[in-house]
């Protein structure tokens, strides 16, 4: 039972201090030595006591993954399992475990992050959201604790490493597609305006509308939750207007699903009456009726790249801040249709 570092050292033919350094993954130890020591550890069934080890070397070999509050709601959107899958796949290769937040509100999440950091539970943190004036982000910055963001930081000049898509351009492309096929009354349905992803997608939409000289009443931009119920609320607002839109840019596929269901309930059909374009290319976007024209933002890749950047930063605090822009691609499916009536006006 009581296999010690000394036993491992003897079997591998190295000094006990070398074994400790291998356990701590010290970069000064050659790969060959590491392999030899790790084999000896495995053969002898030696497991370093992780907590004792953490105290010594301050490495937990774990990554904290922070869901937007609340985790409970977020996990209803397939974006999160897919980004977790990407993070997990890279973390697994690098032999890191995942610590996932479960907070129900912003205060909970803030306390969880404090516990992770102050308790040395994780080597670094991935924030799966970017929110303006976020106390979590401020706390991590002040502590100089390694973290990476999926999404764009709210302050442009910040030194934060982040992984994002060009959401402004993607949204402008979607809007221009609707304009190209004859739509003149186009509305935007997004998430909370505190999230930078909403702001980027909103601004891309506005830019296309303004360049085309189309109407942009305030009532045409609606903000709701990134859930099916959010889409429902938005439709109820938009289609009570005197001049309801014929084209929609929706910032999330799950919201789009709610939009389509609610349109049906009020006797409108997609794409015959309303053309819809969407974001994220969740796998559900292929199986809805109709299948959605949506932006493939490569969620899995967002996860992989964020884990890669974080682990680089956790291993080397001097790693420069990076910006990784994962390319997007519009998937054209059956949720849009040419609007011949308005084009003729």
Binding site for its own copies (CB under 8 A): 47-55, 60, 62, 71-72, 75-76, 78, 80-82, 84-85, 88-89, 91-92, 96-104, 108, 112, 114-116, 118-121, 257, 284, 287-289
Nearer to its own copies, 103 or 271 (CB): 103
Residue with tokens 């005197």: 242
Q: Report, in Å, the least distance between residue 308 CB and its own copies.
A: 14
Closer Cβ to its own copies, 90 or 162, answer by number: 90
Q: Which of 145, 67, 73, 137 is nearest to 99 (CA)?
A: 67
Beta strands in the chain (DSSP E): 62-66, 97-100, 124-127, 147-150, 161-164, 186-190, 221-223, 247-250, 275-279, 293-296, 323-325, 329-331
Pick the closer one to its own copies by CB: 75 or 268.
75
How many CB atoms sit inside 10 A of residue 122's CB?
A: 27
| Smaller CB separation from its own copies, 140 or 208 | 140
At closest approach, how far in Å is the CB of 318 from its own copies?
A: 24
Burial (0-12, 13-18, 19+ Cβ within 10 Å), 128: buried
From the list 260, 279, 278, 258, the residue with the least C-alpha distance to 269 is 260
Q: How far is the CB of 64 from its own copies (least distance, A)?
A: 9
Which C-beta is closer to its own copies: that of 84 or that of 197?
84
Give me the least distance between CB of 344 and its own copies, in Å please. Answer: 34
Q: How far is the CB of 28 from its own copies (least distance, A)?
A: 24
CB count within 10 Å of CB 72 equals 11
Shortest spacing between CB 184 and its own copies, in angstroms? 30
Question: CB 80 → its own copies: shortest distance, Å?
Answer: 7
Please say which residue, 106 or 173, places its beta carbon nearer to its own copies. 106
Least distance from its own copies to the Cβ atom of residue 284, Å: 6
Give whichever of 81 and 217 is closer to its own copies, judged by the CB atom.
Answer: 81
Alpha carbon 124 to chain centroid, angstroms: 16
178 or 257, CB closer to its own copies? 257
Give CA–CA dist 243/237, Å, rounded.
12
- Whether 263 contacts 269, CB under 8 Å: yes
Q: Which long-range contacts (CB under 8 A, 24 or more apart) does 14-21 make?
A: 20/56
Given the complex with its own copies, which of 100 and 132 has the nearer CB atom?
100
Q: Which of 182, 221, 219 is nearest to 201 (CA)?
A: 221
CB 294 within 8 A of CB 279: yes
Q: What angle (nearest 5°) sits at the alpha carbon of residue 47, between those of residues 44 and 50? A: 165
Contact between residue 320 and residue 291 where contact means Cβ atoms under 8 Å apart: no
Q: How far is the CB of 282 from its own copies (least distance, A)?
A: 10
From CA 1, how far away is CA 11, in angstroms rounded? Answer: 16
């Amino acid at each position: 039972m009581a296999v010690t570092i000394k036993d491992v050292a003897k079997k591998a033919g190295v000094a006990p201090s070398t074994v400790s350094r291998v356990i701590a993954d010290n970069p000064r130890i050659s790969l060959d030595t590491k392999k030899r020591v790790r084999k000896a550890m495995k053969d002898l069934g030696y497991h370093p006591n992780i907590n004792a080890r953490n105290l010594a070397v301050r490495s937990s070999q774990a990554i904290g993954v922070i869901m937007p509050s609340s985790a409970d709601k977020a996990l209803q959107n397939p974006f999160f399992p897919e980004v977790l899958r990407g993070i997990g796949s890279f973390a697994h290769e690098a032999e890191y475990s995942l610590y996932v937040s479960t907070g129900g509100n912003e205060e909970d999440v803030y306390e969880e992050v404090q516990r992770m950091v102050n308790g040395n539970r994780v080597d670094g943190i991935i924030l799966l959201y970017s929110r303006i004036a976020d106390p979590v982000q401020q706390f991590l910055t002040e502590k100089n604790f390694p973290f990476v963001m999926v999404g764009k930081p709210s302050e442009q000049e910040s030194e934060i490493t982040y992984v994002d898509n060009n959401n402004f351009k993607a949204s402008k492309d979607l809007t221009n597609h609707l304009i190209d096929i004859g739509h003149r009354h186009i509305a935007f349905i997004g998430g909370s305006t505190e999230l930078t992803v909403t702001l980027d997608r909103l601004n891309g939409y506005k830019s296309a509308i303004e360049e085309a000289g189309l109407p942009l009443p305030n009532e045409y931009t609606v903000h709701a939750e990134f859930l099916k119920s959010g889409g429902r609320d938005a439709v109820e607002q938009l289609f009570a207007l005197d001049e309801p839109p014929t084209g929609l840019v929706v910032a999330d596929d799950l919201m789009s699903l709610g939009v389509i269901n609610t349109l049906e309930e009020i006797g409108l059909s997609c794409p015959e009456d309303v053309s819809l374009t969407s974001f994220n290319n969740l796998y559900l976007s292929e199986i809805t009726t109709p299948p959605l024209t949506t932006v493939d933002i490569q969620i899995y890749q967002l996860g992989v790249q964020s884990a890669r950047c974080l682990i680089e930063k956790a291993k080397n605090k001097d790693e420069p801040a990076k910006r990784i822009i994962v390319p997007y691609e519009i998937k054209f499916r059956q949720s849009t249709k040419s609007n011949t009536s308005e084009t003729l006006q």
